[in-house]
């Protein structure tokens, strides 16, 4: 037994040393880059969180209970999410993605971040959609707003979407920061366009229905021509009108009592002036009123 004692002491010392070496990296674990991006979309927040350690370390994961579309990658490989929403993973590059309603209070964005290890560089970004705006106006010259706390490192906008960024350096273990952005929905003016369109349609219908009907008096060509007819010519036209605009030439001669030569001359005159026209039907001439 006395012979084995020195070896046992060495073995115990070895295990203690291994334990110390295993603890030291965790005690001095440092995150070189911690970035988390929030994108608001129809009452939910799309979260992309990435943690990059100096060395392989353990990192605590906490996923909101209502989270969906969850994915987790550790050192570039997909990690199977356990049943518990709170667990630890070991790695150097850890990326977590999910969708949640947890960070939206009415129209306001609110979150408190607590950091498990020291952080060299922290980057937090909030992407505000085009249908929302800051509850308090954005100062265009300084790009600041009293609706954003703490003061943002940068705010960019294209006139529709707003992207707010916060940058921090050298945070200590267990430090925490709260972020608050007060938002409101932009007023929807589309209904005004519908109302105006409806008003215009109603006005058009009203004007059309109320427009007085004007009587159009059409003077027939024959009525105007009759003013310039000679007595004999007028007699022929009246006979044609009384017979629905047509009559045999022989019947005209009988009714008028004109000689054959006189009637032929009158008909030729009226035909030249395009008041009548004649058609040959067998052996008879039919005279038509134009």
The closest alpha carbon to 61, from 44, 69, 53, 49, belongs to: 49
Q: Stretch 38-49: mean pLDDT, rounded?
A: 93
Is the domain 221-289 a CATH 1.10.10.10 member?
A: yes
Q: Stretch 151-164: mean pLDDT, rounded?
A: 88
Tens of pLDDT, residue by residue over 250-273, are: 888 888 888 888 888 888 888 888
Burial of 58 (0-12, 13-18, 19+ CB in 10 A): middle
Name the token pair of 89. Answer: 């993973």
How far, in Å, CA of 11 to CA of 226, rounded? 141
Tally of CA atoms within 13 A in the half-sphere of 36 that contains its CB: 17
pLDDT of residue 17: 45
Cβ neighbours around 220 below 10 Å, total = 8
Residue with tokens 């490192």: 153
Exposed e or buried b per residue across 70-108, where buried means at least 16 C-beta atoms within 10 angstroms of its C-beta: eebbbeeeebebeeeeeeebebbebbbbbbbebbbeeee
How far, in Å, CA of 116 to CA of 49, rounded? 14
pLDDT of residue 187: 81
Residue 70 — very low, low, confident or very high, per pLDDT cuts 50/70/90? very high
Characterize the bridge pairing of strands 118-128 and 104-105: unpaired
pLDDT at 219 over 50: no
Tally of CA atoms within 13 A in the half-sphere of 120 that contains its CB: 10
Q: Where are the domains of the chain?
A: 29-185, 221-289
Question: Which range has the top average pLDDT, 29-33, 185-189, 204-208?
Answer: 29-33
Report whether 152 contacts 165 (CB < 8 A): yes
How far, in Å, CA of 145 to CA of 150, rounded? 10
pLDDT of residue 178: 93
Q: At the topology level of CATH, where does 29-185 sit?
A: Immunoglobulin-like (2.60.40)
pLDDT at 286 over 80: yes
Q: Stretch 139-149: mean pLDDT, rounded?
A: 83
Tens of pLDDT, residue by residue over 120-133, are: 999 999 999 988 99
pLDDT of residue 16: 53
- Give pTM, 2 decimals: 0.58
What average pLDDT does the structure give for the chain?
83
| Count of residues in the chain | 290
């Amino acid at each position: 037994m006395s012979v084995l004692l020195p070896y046992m002491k060495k073995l115990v010392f070895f295990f203690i040393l291994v334990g110390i070496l295993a603890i030291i990296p965790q005690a001095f674990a440092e995150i070189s880059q911690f970035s988390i991006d929030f994108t608001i979309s129809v009452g939910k927040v799309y979260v992309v969180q990435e943690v990059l350690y100096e060395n392989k370390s353990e990192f605590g994961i906490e996923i909101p209970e209502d989270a969906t579309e969850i994915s987790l990658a550790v050192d570039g490989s997909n990690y199977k999410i356990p049943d518990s929403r709170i667990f630890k993973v070991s790695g150097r590059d850890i990326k977590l993605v999910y969708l949640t309603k947890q960070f939206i209070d009415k129209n306001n964005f609110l979150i408190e971040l607590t950091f498990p290890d020291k952080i060299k560089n922290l980057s937090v970004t909030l992407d505000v959609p085009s249908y929302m705006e800051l509850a308090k106006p954005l100062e265009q010259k300084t790009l600041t707003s009293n609706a954003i706390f703490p003061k943002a490192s940068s705010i960019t906008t294209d006139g529709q979407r707003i992207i707010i960024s916060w940058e921090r350096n050298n945070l200590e273990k267990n430090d925490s920061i709260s972020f608050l952005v007060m938002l409101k929905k932009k007023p929807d003016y589309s209904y005004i366009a519908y109302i105006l369109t409806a008003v215009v349609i109603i006005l058009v219908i009203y004007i059309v229905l109320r427009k007085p009907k004007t009587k159009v008096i059409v003077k027939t060509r024959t009525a105007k021509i009759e003013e310039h007819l000679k007595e004999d010519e007028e007699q022929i036209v009246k006979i044609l009108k009384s017979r629905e605009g047509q009559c045999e030439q022989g019947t005209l001669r009988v009714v008028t009592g004109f000689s054959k030569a006189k009637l032929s001359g009158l008909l030729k005159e009226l035909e030249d002036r395009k008041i009548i026209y004649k058609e040959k039907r067998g052996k008879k001439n039919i005279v038509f009123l134009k």
